[in-house]
Structure 1
Amino acid sequence: MKNWKVWGPIVGILACIVGVYFYLSEDRGLELNVKKNDPVAAKEAQTKIDKSFETPVASKVTEEYETMTNAELIQEVHNMTHQKVEADKKWGASEITADKVQTLFNVIKNKDFQNGSTKDMLLAILEPWIRKDFSNAVSAHNRIWSSQNGNIGKATRLLTPEEELDYIEKQFR
């Protein structure tokens, strides 16, 4: 009987843990922060993202790049990366469009930077974006974030197309 007093509660707790585990691991239609792989939804989302990328931007928006300081240009690229990456915290948002990427690239290319490596970093980030290649977005975000002495909000991965589309709709529509 003495053993039951010791082992009874332990067995009960373990049974509860196992029960909760199996309950949560069953597919009950709950998302539990795990995105299911739905190729059709991903393709539809990517099509909408591509259309958004090609949407013309008012020249007034891109003309502002000409008067931005170096720090403002760095922050603009940083804000753009937020559309593409997962991070605990994101401050600032700027929609990525072909017009904006091309204009930013040209402005930065023709601008004097006291630190040439910052200019090179920004051009290296933007150059693939011109071709709609955003595979560098996580490293781009974290390079800029690190150069700004960031300690909260490190990017951990690229967003799925569905997540990115949701971000675009919440931030820009």
Structure 2
Amino acid sequence: MKTFKHVVIVLGLIAALAVGGYYYIKQDLASPDELAQTAEEINEREQHKGEVRENDVEVSMEESEVQTYLHQMTHQHVIASEKWGSVESNPQNIENLLTIVQANRNEYEHSAYYIGVLEQWREGNFSNAVSVHNFVWKLQGGTVGKATGLLSEEEKKQFAEENFSD
């Protein structure tokens, strides 16, 4: 009889734990509506993740990315044995990059340099392109493709046609 009592008590405890566990877990699970709402909120956050906008320009950018853009913008203006990548140095790209650098001036080590360069470029003065290219090239550990001079107007036009024409 004692054994039967022990079995009933153990089974009763197991049943109580199972019922209690079921309600505990059920309480922690979200309803389908709550899951849908949470998924929607996550998607919304992901769409705007990292977006800090200023004048409709996303200004969240690492300094190394700014350096890459500057470097590739100089390729339209410099003579170098190797040129890897190119970004057109048009007014819109210059203005966008200037906005980004100004928004991050306190975070970038060389922000004053970038701003000075971009302000000259905004005025159409690319006479500093060789020194800008080589400064950034050196920051990025360049070993091949040091700029040695400025392209002629005809060479700039040809470079633009080869790299930026649709």
> Which TM class, normalised by the smaller chain length?
0.5 to 0.7
Matched, 1:148 2:123: no
Give the number of aligned pairs: 111
Q: Could you tell me the TM-score, scaled by structure 1's length? A: 0.59
Partner SS, residue 86 of structure 1: strand
Q: CA deviation at 1:67?
A: 3.3
- Equivalent residue for 2:155? 163
Identity %: 34
Query: Structure 1 residues 106, 149: CA separation in 2 closer, same or farther (over 3 Å shift)?
Result: same
Q: For residue 68 of structure 1, report the CA deviation from its aligned partner.
A: 2.6
Q: Radius of gyration: which is bigger?
A: 2
**Deviation digits for residues 35-88 of structure 1, max 9, x if unmatched?**
xxxxxxxxxxxxxxxxxxxxxxxxxxx966523322111101110000000000
Partner of residue 97, structure 1: 90
Report the more deviating stretch, 107-116 or 140-149.
107-116
Q: Secondary structure, in 3 states, of the residue corresponding to 2:149?
A: strand
Taking the TM superposition and a 5 Å limit, the aligned residue runs for 1:1-173 are 66-112=59-105, 114-116=107-109, 118-173=110-165
Q: Secondary structure of 1:90's match?
A: coil
Q: Offset at 1:149?
A: 1.4
Cα RMSD for the two superposed structures: 1.8
Normalization by structure 2: what TM-score?
0.62
Counterpart for residue 29 of structure 2: none
With 121-130 and 74-83 compared, the bigger mean Cα shift is at: 121-130
Runs (5+) with no aligned partner, structure 1: 1-61
Structure with bigger RCO (C-alpha 8 Å, 6+ apart): 1
Residue type of the alignment partner of 1:133:
N
Q: SS of the counterpart of 1:150?
A: coil
Stretches of structure 2 lacking an aligned partner (at least 5 in a row): 1-54
Q: 2:16: which partner in 1?
A: none
